[in-house]
Amino acid sequence: MFDTVLVANRGEIAVRVIRTLRRLGVRSVAVFSDADAGARHVREADTAVRIGPAPATESYLSAERLLDAARRTGAQAVHPGYGFLAENAAFARAVEEAGLVFVGPPAGAIELMGDKIRAKETVRAAGVPVVPGSSGSSLTDAELAAAALEIGMPVLLKPSAGGGGKGMRLVRDEAALADEIAAARREARGAFGDDTLLVERWIDGPRHIEIQVLADGHGTVVHLGERECSLQRRHQKIIEEAPSPLLDEATRAAMGEAAVRAARSCGYRGAGTVEFIVPGGDPGSYCFMEMNTRLQVEHPVTELITGLDLVEWQLRVAAGEPLAFGQEDVSLRGHAVEARICAESARATGGRVDFLPSAGTVHLLSEPSGEGVRVDSGLAEGTEVGTDYDPMLAKVIAYGPDRASALRRLRGALAGTTVLGVETNTAFLRALLEHPAVLSGDLDTGLVDRDAASLLPSGVPAEVYAAAALLRHAALEPEPSPAGWTDPFAAPTGWRLGGEPAWTVHHLRVPGREPVAVRVRGRSTGAEVRVGEEPPVRAALRGGAAGRILLEWDGVTHSFAHARAGGGRWLGRDGVGWQLTDHDPVEAALRGGAGAHGADALTAPMPGTVTVVKAAVGDEVVAGQSLLVVEAMKMEHVITAPYDGTVTELDVAPGSTVAMDQVLAVVEPGGSGEPAAEPAEGAVR
């Protein structure tokens, strides 16, 4: 075994690898960009090395800086985690040429399986069924379009050089092919530095099932069962489980054998995953999609049902050890389900839901624990979550003797997850886990996108606004004098000599929603509270444990996690976090912004960078026309015209950094004035 290993990654996967290194008694070396100087993985490693500024190209994607860090710290091996350079054959070769060990497969296997076109040809020759699609690489746009028409619509455009859903486009309409090919190439180029695309037949109602394989350098290759990864949003997995509720033992064994053949076909070594597309109505008709030549985000569910530490076996195999078990020794026990916690905010527009990257500082953090619950996290209080990197923050995993128990434990664990300071998708994941199709195991890859709108909360509960208003009210209340007397005119109780008490109005705003006026009459420890136009309710604020408050609201006591942040505060409950800021209607009107422009304003849906501008002031545009593209966390969001009209303001250019809700452009209605009936894929208004 190695004495020192450098972890060439960040966030939760770096923390995860460091945990196993510590257990094995191996010294860990972390690397960090300027943006991650205070990150959890830096604090948990034995040694940490700064490798450059925030842009990944100058830090985590710089092989030269990573290898220099390894040399300076005496590392003998490099663990790439996932993402960044984990599936980069040139990096694997550079590690080996530097006299170090790459904790992963041979560079040749990465190169072969990283080229999806060659990978399909290779596994087909090994007897593994593949999805019908284009053959040959470096196809022009015209050749891709021709291949798509030959296969038959709908089709899936996929980058040849990488996965993770980046650059993938489902195209159902022939008329949209040209635009979608251009967008897929742009995303692929940005994510992988290679815009080569392939096209495959789209199978409606498919399930995404993958097989975990493990191979040593002595000829042994085993599979560790499957993972169900069908719960995806725009081709990004968000919930994974093992085993799949779809497969029977015979199909599981057949897919496992096919995965082993695929691994052998490329001379694989280490931990890898063979991904299959599976028709829900005919599991036996599975087809190879791709092989991920690295550890997967969802590896913990396999670890929980097999009892194996995959990171440990990656390290042992890389150190030259043979596997200590064969296929006959692998058994699957119980059930495990994982949820990915991401820095995201959800917005519903016209029946469509867009999940947009969020950013901020983690002011309060509470992660779940207990029987059958595991958390892999890169978070700590004080963590700065920016838009430079992938939005995944943590994973919550639950294990149980059966599927129902695991799902129940995971729902409870998510309810006990509190992240204040950054919006997350935790509440959405809880709602998804209660979906009837999820409970029954009747899944497909389109379920989340179809039903996303129904899984969002309908609004902010009145007691949340009430709690925030009473906290603000309490801050205005003077301290009593030493004699215990308080001047009634100095307290915001609304007290009047000989008259009915007046209301104190607190204007509050939750991002993405209209401001709400909350009227309070009395003290924070006992008052009438009126939220918006709702009838008054008796309420009282009570102190709680550190970081918590209690609110008595209409006879019911609610417990909230609480953190102050700038000019406002965060409240959290049952996995949901709300940011409430003070809102001054007069100042907002004077400052202008979206409110001043009304519905004509197109605002930034998240903090990010403008990458494309397709319009200019004075342009006549039509409903649904793409005007700008904003990118954050390697995700593109298209800003479209809400109706036919004229661009009267355009305040950004390519390269502009924008804040959430910043006005980007203004379109004044003209022509029919009708709003777009259905925005394009990925469109944000």
606 and 553 in a single domain? The answer is no
User: Is residue 126's pLDDT more than 70?
Assistant: yes
500: in domain? yes
Q: pLDDT at position 177, please?
A: 93
- The three state secondary structure string of 12-63 is HHHHHHHHHHHHHCCEEEEEEEHHHCCCHHHHHCCEEEEEECCCHHHCCCCH
272 and 149 in a single domain? The answer is no
pTM above 0.85, yes or no: no
Q: pLDDT at position 192, please?
A: 83
Count structural domains, the chain. 5
User: Is residue 647's pLDDT more than 90?
Assistant: yes
Q: pLDDT at position 672, please?
A: 45
By the 8 A CB rule, do 315 and 24 touch?
Answer: yes
The CA distance from 409 to 397, in Å, is: 9
536 and 657 in a single domain? The answer is no
Residue partners of 567: CB distance under 8 A and separation at least 6: 581, 582
- DSSP-derived letter for residue 214 is E
275 and 373 in a single domain? The answer is yes
Confidence of residue 595 (pLDDT cuts 50, 70, 90): very low
Q: Which range, 170-174, 330-334, 675-679, has the best average confidence (pLDDT)? A: 330-334
By the 8 A CB rule, do 408 and 337 touch?
Answer: no
Please give the distance of CA 435 from its chain centroid, rounded to a whole number.
20
List the CATH number of the domain containing 643.
Answer: 2.40.50.100
Confidence of residue 543 (pLDDT cuts 50, 70, 90): confident
Confidence of residue 594 (pLDDT cuts 50, 70, 90): very low
194 and 226 in a single domain? The answer is no
User: Is residue 593's pLDDT more than 60?
Assistant: no
Q: pLDDT at position 673, please?
A: 42
User: Is residue 500's pLDDT more than 80?
Assistant: no
Q: Which amino acid is at 164?
A: G
Closest among 527, 524, 540, 508 to 473, alpha carbons compared: 524
117: in domain? no
Q: Which residues pair with 207 in a beta bridge?
A: 278
Helix 403-415 to helix 426-433 angle (10° resolution) is 150
409 and 468 in a single domain? The answer is no
The dihedral of CA 570, 572, 578, 580: what is its sign? Answer: negative
621: in domain? yes
116: in domain? no
Closest among 23, 21, 6 to 73, alpha carbons compared: 6
**606 vs 442: which has the higher pLDDT:** 442
User: Is residue 685's pLDDT more than 60?
Assistant: no
Q: pLDDT at position 583, please?
A: 83
150: in domain? yes
By the 8 A CB rule, do 127 and 120 touch?
Answer: no
Confidence of residue 677 (pLDDT cuts 50, 70, 90): very low
Q: pLDDT at position 480, please?
A: 61
At 190-207, the pLDDT tens digits run: 888 888 898 988 887 899
The CA distance from 564 to 580, in Å, is: 10
Tokens of 125: 């020759």
Closest among 55, 51, 64 to 389, alpha carbons compared: 55
User: Is residue 642's pLDDT more than 90?
Assistant: no
At 268-277, the pLDDT tens digits run: 999 999 999 9
Tokens of 521: 């009459």
Q: pLDDT at position 499, please?
A: 62
**447 vs 683: which has the higher pLDDT:** 447
User: Is residue 683's pLDDT more than 50?
Assistant: no
Residue partners of 498: CB distance under 8 A and separation at least 6: none
Q: pLDDT at position 599, please?
A: 54
Confidence of residue 676 (pLDDT cuts 50, 70, 90): very low
Please give the distance of CA 612 from its chain centroid, rounded to a whole number.
23
Closest among 658, 661, 635 to 190, alpha carbons compared: 635
The CA distance from 290 to 117, in Å, is: 9
Matching residue, tokens 């980046």: 166
List the CATH number of the domain containing 53.
Answer: 3.40.50.20
By the 8 A CB rule, do 395 and 13 touch?
Answer: no
**222 vs 675: which has the higher pLDDT:** 222
120: in domain? no
At 53-88, the pLDDT tens digits run: 998 999 999 999 999 999 999 999 999 999 999 999
By the 8 A CB rule, do 561 and 471 touch?
Answer: no
At 338-389, the pLDDT tens digits run: 999 999 988 776 667 888 889 999 999 999 999 999 999 999 999 999 888 9
Of the chain, the percentage scoring pLDDT greater than 90 comes to 68
The CA distance from 210 to 608, in Å, is: 33
Write down the mean pLDDT value for the chain.
Answer: 90
Q: How many helices (H) and strands (E) does the chain have?
A: 18, 39
User: Is residue 208's pLDDT more than 90?
Assistant: yes
Mean pLDDT of 658-681: 65
398: in domain? yes
By the 8 A CB rule, do 473 and 551 touch?
Answer: no
Confidence of residue 483 (pLDDT cuts 50, 70, 90): low
Q: Which domain holds residue 534?
A: 462-480+488-583
The CA distance from 664 to 652, in Å, is: 6
356 and 278 in a single domain? The answer is yes
At 266-322, the pLDDT tens digits run: 999 999 999 999 998 899 999 999 999 999 999 999 999 999 999 999 999 999 999
**107 vs 139: which has the higher pLDDT:** 107
239: in domain? no
User: Is residue 462's pLDDT more than 80?
Assistant: yes
Q: How many CB atoms lie within 10 A of CB 261?
A: 16
The CA distance from 532 to 343, in Å, is: 29
The CA distance from 226 to 282, in Å, is: 17
262 and 336 in a single domain? The answer is yes
661 and 604 in a single domain? The answer is yes
22 and 72 in a single domain? The answer is yes
User: Is residue 674's pLDDT more than 50?
Assistant: no
Helix (H, G, I), strand (E, B) or coil at 239: strand
Tokens of 505: 């109005």
At 137-150, the pLDDT tens digits run: 678 999 899 989 98
List the CATH number of the domain containing 424.
Answer: 3.30.470.20
Confidence of residue 658 (pLDDT cuts 50, 70, 90): confident
**Alpha carbons within 13 A on the beta-carbon side of 567:** 8
470 and 386 in a single domain? The answer is no
User: Is residue 435's pLDDT more than 90?
Assistant: yes
List the CATH number of the domain containing 555.
Answer: 3.30.700.30
Matching residue, tokens 């043979």: 322
Confidence of residue 682 (pLDDT cuts 50, 70, 90): very low
280 and 359 in a single domain? The answer is yes
Q: Characterise 38 by phi-psi region: left (phi > 0), alpha (psi -120 to 50), beta (else).
A: alpha
- DSSP-derived letter for residue 237 is E
Q: pLDDT at position 634, please?
A: 62
Confidence of residue 152 (pLDDT cuts 50, 70, 90): confident
Q: pLDDT at position 681, please?
A: 37
